[in-house]
Structure formats: structure tokens, C-alpha cells
Amino acid sequence: MIKVAVTGAAGRMGGRIITLVTEAEGLQVAGAVEAPGNPKLGEDAGLVAGCGQLGVAITDSLEQALSGADVLIDFTWPEVTLANLGVCKKLGKTMVVGTTGLTPEQRAVVEDAAGTIPVVFAPNMSVGVNLCFKLLKDMAATLGEAFDVEIVELHHNKKKDSPSGTAVRMGEIVADALDRDYNKVANYHREGMCGERTKEEIGMQTVRGGDIIGEHTVYFVGMGERIELTHRAMSRDMFARGAVRAAGWLAGKEPGLYDMQDVLGLK
């Protein structure tokens, strides 16, 4: 039995992850963590998640939650994730990181920790999105320089980071396939007399509103034809299901940085 601790236990993702761990074969919730001062501290994690009593109280001590756990699933905030990585590294626990919005410097800290413990780090844990990542690489390589690439993503009005980690990953995959440096060619802003579009740039636009779970479209626009690859999330469960699958997959893995392409065997 793989024992799982979950941070952000009272959050949108944390609750679904706790529920899906209880439904997964061979996995069990062993710890649940929330921020100091969270009103749900001390309450049963299963009751808070809406999947019935689990006998696991939500604590603000990660060390305590990890004492009986093999793996941590973390969908919180970047600075919290980095602190939690330090604890997992110290205790030798594996970790699934779903948190998005990490800066390049913060991502480097994740990479460094993966030198000591096995870590799955993926801005989007859905099977469908990860298949899109694979398709995008082929599309960009085949369509090449003749097509302009633009990415549009839509999310709910509570999302804190823009553009989404998934949109950035899509941009990086396209840039890599076209032998471009994403950080140099990403264009997040057009306003006023900003001039013609350059051939190399990858436009990145965000829409925020209501309860949109997440939509991403990559446009490849050529002369006389246009290809659009769209993924629409209809429920948060697709992310949570991927995270739970990653937690099971990590058991027995060597230290290293893995992504969902590894977990799903798409490489």
C-alpha cells in the first residue's frame, strides 16, 4: 500500500486529490496539510473533501503528515512548494508537484531537489493535455517556419498566475521544435502601434473569467490555411487523477526529475 500525504488539503485540487486517492487501488491517504491558521485545521480530511471520514486530521505540520507517508502530492503556491520540497528532501520522501507559476529560479530549486529524491513536476497532469504536448512537437516540426504560432488560454477568475503553466509549456515545446529560445520569442503583450508581427514570435494571450476550468488553443496560421489544436478541461478531476497516477508511478523510482510524459510512457 502506497501512503500519500496531500498539501493544500482544503484547496480546490487538494480535496479532489484526497477523494481520488481513496478510490485508487493500492493507495491510501496518510496525511493532510493546510496552512497555519486555516479554519479546516484539526478537521477530518475526508469530511472536508466530501468523501467521508478517513480518520486523518488536517494538520499544519508537514513533518507530522509525512511521518507515515511515502509520497507527498503538492498543489499549493510556489513558495510553499519550495519549502515542502526541502522537507521531502530532508526526510527522503518522493513528491508530485502540481503547483504552477514558478519562476525560472524556483524551477531550478525543484531540479536541484530532484538530484536527491524522485520528483514528478508537471504544469498539467491531464492525459489529454500531455498527448497535446506530444502532438504539438510533431505539428511544429512539420509546419515549420511557414506558420505563425499563437497561443490563447482561458481560466477562471481566481487563477493567480498568467499565462498558465500549461500555455508556457506549450510555447516551450513549439519553440524547441522550431529551434527558438522561448524566453526570447514569447510575446505577451500587443498594444498600440507595436509594429508587424515578427516571424519568430509566439503570441501568448490570456482570458480570465467565471468558472472556466482551463482551455488552451494553439493556432498554427499559414497562408491560406490554419490549424488549431484545442484542449478543454471539463472537470478538475482530470488533473487530480493524473497526480494520483503519478504518486503511484513514483514508487521505487530513482531520484530524478520526471514529468507526465514519463508517467504516461509518452516519451
| Shortest Å distance, C-beta 263 to ligand NAD | 12
| Shortest Å distance, C-beta 223 to ligand NAD | 36
| Shortest Å distance, C-beta 41 to ligand NAD | 10
Q: How many helices (H) and strands (E) does the chain have?
A: 10, 12
Q: Which residues contact 161 (CB under 8 A, 6 or more apart)?
A: 100, 101
Taking alpha carbons only, the member of 71, 76, 86, 78 closest to residue 107 is 78
Q: Distance between CA 265 and CA 267 in Å, rounded?
A: 6
Q: Is 184 a catalytic residue?
A: no
Taking alpha carbons only, the member of 74, 73, 56, 75 closest to residue 2 is 73
Q: Which is nearer to ligand NAD, 126 or 220 (CB)?
A: 126
Catalytic residue, from 89, 155, 216, 231: name it: 155
Taking alpha carbons only, the member of 164, 174, 166, 100 closest to residue 135 is 174
Interface residues with ligand NAD (CB under 6 A)?
7-8, 10-14, 33-35, 38, 75-77, 80, 98-101, 122-125, 239
Determine the residue with CB nearest ligand NAD: 11
Q: Distance between CA 177 and CA 242 in Å, rounded?
A: 25
Q: Is 156 a catalytic residue?
A: no
Residue 110's φ and ψ, nearest 5 degrees, are -65, -45
Q: Which is nearer to ligand NAD, 12 or 107 (CB)?
A: 12
Q: Which is nearer to ligand NAD, 203 or 242 (CB)?
A: 242
Q: Which is nearer to ligand NAD, 96 or 185 (CB)?
A: 96
| Shortest Å distance, C-beta 208 to ligand NAD | 13
Catalytic residue, from 40, 89, 93, 159: name it: 159
Residue by residue, DSSP assigns 190-212 as --SS--SPPSS-EEEEEEE-TT-
173, 229 contact by CB (below 8 A):
no
Inter-CA distances, 7 with 28, 46, 57, 84, 209, Å: 15, 13, 12, 9, 26
Q: Which is nearer to ligand NAD, 14 or 203 (CB)?
A: 14
| Shortest Å distance, C-beta 196 to ligand NAD | 34
Active-site residues: which are they? 155, 159
